[in-house]
Structure formats: C-alpha cells, structure tokens
Structure 1
Amino acid sequence: MSAQRVYRAMRDVVQSMDGTVPGRFEITGKGIVHDLTAPIGPHGLTSLRLRKRLEKVMPDEIVAHTGRPDVEDESEGIMRRPDVLVIAEADMEGDGAFDPGTVIAAVEIVSRSNPDNDWVSKVRDHPLMGIPLYAIFDPRTGTGAVLTDIHPTPDGPRYATRKDFVYGEDVTIGDWTIPTDGLPVYE
C-alpha cells in the first residue's frame, strides 16, 4: 500500500473517531497520536489568554484561531491541530483543512498527558510542513520556547533558532510581543 493510501486510511480513522472519544487525534509522520487534552482547566485557559493577547497586538486581518479545522500536509502524511493558529483571516475561507503554507505560526500548550507530542513530534512535524514559527508554552514548568528559521538537515527540515522563556517574561512570536504573566501552571 502506498504512503498516500496509508495516510488517507489513518485520516479516515481519525475523522471517524472525532467527537466520539475524549481528546483529539492527530497524524504524524510516525502514525496516529491521541492527546487527552482537556479543553478546560490550565490548558484551555492558557489557550484563551494567548489568543486574546495575540489578537490585541496583531493587525485586524491576522487572527489567533483556536479550534478546527486541522492543518494538513497530505504529501508529508501529517495532520495537526495547533492549540492556537496564527493565520490571515482570508486564508481561513473555504472548506477542509488549512494549507500549512498559509500558517504564520503554530502555538501549542503542552498537555499533561503527552508532553513529547509537543516537545518532540511537533518540533519535527511543523518544519516538515513549512510552518515558519512554532511557540511552545509548558504549564508543567512555567516555561516555553519559540522556534524559528527552518533550515535543511540530513534528517529533514528543522528549526535552527530556539529562544527559551519563563512565564512572567514577555515573549515575541513573529512580529508580536505579548506578556506571559498570569498564565496558569498545572498543579
């Protein structure tokens, strides 16, 4: 079976389970990932606060989107749903998944149930999809990182620049700087 057929079969499975099983499913280059992220509590509150803070400093035509649809790169066999997606509102028109080429930044809040998904798998997958900026907020530790500057490596495209931050510091995501004070941490 071709890689495209395997990917499409995984996508059909993920879509059939969406809304029937708690959490969300994403497809990586290595298979299906199940994230038990609860949309409430520190994870959901962090997502909400980041979305609001970003939208305060971004131009009106750029949005910090939370929710569906997914970002899909069928040629790489990857389908992801960032917690916050920075994208031009005009690029949200139409049906189906977002084109990763239109994504300005992906922002993830590390889940308690599967932190490697955000710190390992997505660090690998986002540059493969061509997402130029990836920001990670980790409520487990009150820290995070912004990854930029995709460059080729023998293992495929990777981010070349990583800027770490601690909650309470201002963080720059693309052209926009937001405060990180008041973001919740897991207890």
Structure 2
Amino acid sequence: MTTTPHHAHRGASHRYRALRDFVRSTDDALPGKLEIAKGGIVHDLLSPNGRHELTASLLRKRLERVMPEEVVAHTGTPDVEDEYEGIMRRPDVMVITLADMEVPAGFDPRTLIAAIEVVSRSHPDNDRVGKMGDYPLMGVPVYAIFDPRTGSGAVLSDIHSTPDGPRYAVREDFVYGEDVTIGGWTISTSGLPRYQDDGAERDES
C-alpha cells in the first residue's frame, strides 16, 4: 500500500482551492458551465438547451412523487465537491435528504443518494466518460445517465476498488419508455424528450 505524503496533498489541496476560486469567480461571467474534474477544469461552452432542462425537470418531478418527504431531487447549486480528490461537480439532479443539504458550502458527495446527469449535446464525454470516473472516486453511490441523443441511459452502482481506482461494478442499461430504478425508487422514462425531436408531443407527467 502506498500513501501520499502530507505535503504533497497540501499542495494538491492548494491547487484545488485556487481552481475552485477561479471557477466560482467566473461562473456567471462565462457561457456554459464550469466544473473541476480530476484532470482539471472542464468547460461546457454551451448553456443547456430546453430539452436538456426539460428532462432534468421531469426527472425531478417524477422522483419526488415516489420519494419520502425528507428526500428531494434537487437541481441547481451548490456544487458537490471533494477537496481531497480535487473535484467539484454540479449534477443536473441530486437525490439527497433535506438534512444533508444543511451545509455552509458545497454538498458532501458521500451524502448524495444518487447523482443524475442529462448528457450534454455539446460535450457528451463529460457525462459519459469524465463523470463516470469522478463520481465513484468521490464516493457518489449511484450515478444515473440519461442521453437524449440516443433515447437511452444507464444506472451505475456498487463502487468497488480496481487497479485504476474506485469504479462502479454494476451497470443497468435502459431505453426510453422503460421503467428505471434510481436509489431504490422506480420512475417511468416514457415521454422524455429527444434532442432530434422537433416539437413532437411529449408526456410531461
């Protein structure tokens, strides 16, 4: 077993705080969304479009209908951050208890029940590759991906150790129209919008 020298981690922590301060100071001034991945700053240049935001809203509504009152599907700020790993992410939807939201700054990723991402049309690898590595490293127990490009997705869970670091051991794929279970609660994926749709009717229930 190898350990990281204390001074090395202190240097990494200092670098992370500098990146975090930069991201927070420019977040409202730049288009798109800024996050800090394990490899550095990720900038999705385009702001989320209507179908992306509609998907996140529908998932939030459907989850909150079946979850107990003390659990919410939160969209928005603050970020989820792990200073030790040097990662700061902002999931599209965070399943978390109200009690665990009572924090002064960013959410502790290990208090999340699940993180949900709607794949970005402009930067899909950030959700399908980058976050698939970062979330288990941060200790997020369940990661659900919804991809409006393909009308499909996956729910990843059961973090385990690998030679390349923590990874999800279980992956359950689904296509739009099937029911999906996230963190113990099952919702429908029927009627979720697709990026190639042009004004087709959707079930917004």
Q: TM-score range by the shorter chain?
A: over 0.9
Give deviations 1:7-63, integer Å, cap 9, x for gaps.
111111101111111111100110000123534411000000000000000000000
Match of 2:44 among 29, 35, 43: 35
Aligned to 2:150: 141
Which of 15, 23, 32 does residue 24 from structure 2 map onto? Answer: 15
Larger Rg belongs to? 2
Measured in 2, the distance between the counterparts of 1:55 and 1:27 equals 29
Look up the match of 2:193: 184
| 1:59 counterpart = 2:59 | no
Is the CA contact 2:33–2:47 (under 8 Å) kept in the aligned structure 1?
Answer: no
Aligned residues: 187
Give deviations 1:113-149, integer Å, cap 9, x for gaps: 1100001010000000000000000001000000000
- Which one-letter code corresponds to 2:111 in the other structure? T
Task: Give the superposition deviation at 1:94.
Answer: 2.7
Percent of residue pairs identical: 68
Letter in 2 for 1:183: L
- 5 Å-filtered alignment, 1:6-155, equals 6-155=15-164
CA contact (8 A) 2:48 2:120 kept: no
Residue type at the aligned position of 1:109: V
Return the offset for 1:151. 0.3
90-99 vs 132-141, greater mean Cα deviation: 90-99
Gaps of 5+ in 2: 1-7, 197-205
Report SS of the residue matched to 1:68. coil
Contact 2:148/2:195, CA 8 A, preserved across alignment: yes
CA contact (8 A) 2:64 2:72 kept: yes
Query: What's 2:3 paired with?
Result: none
8 Å CA contact retained: 1:170, 1:180: yes
CA deviations on 1:63-111 (whole Å, 9 max, x unpaired) are 0000000000000000000000000011111321001111100000000
Aligned Cα RMSD in Å?
A: 1.1
The answer on 1:175 being equivalent to 2:190 is: no
Distance in structure 1 (CA, Å) of the matches to 2:111 and 2:58: 23
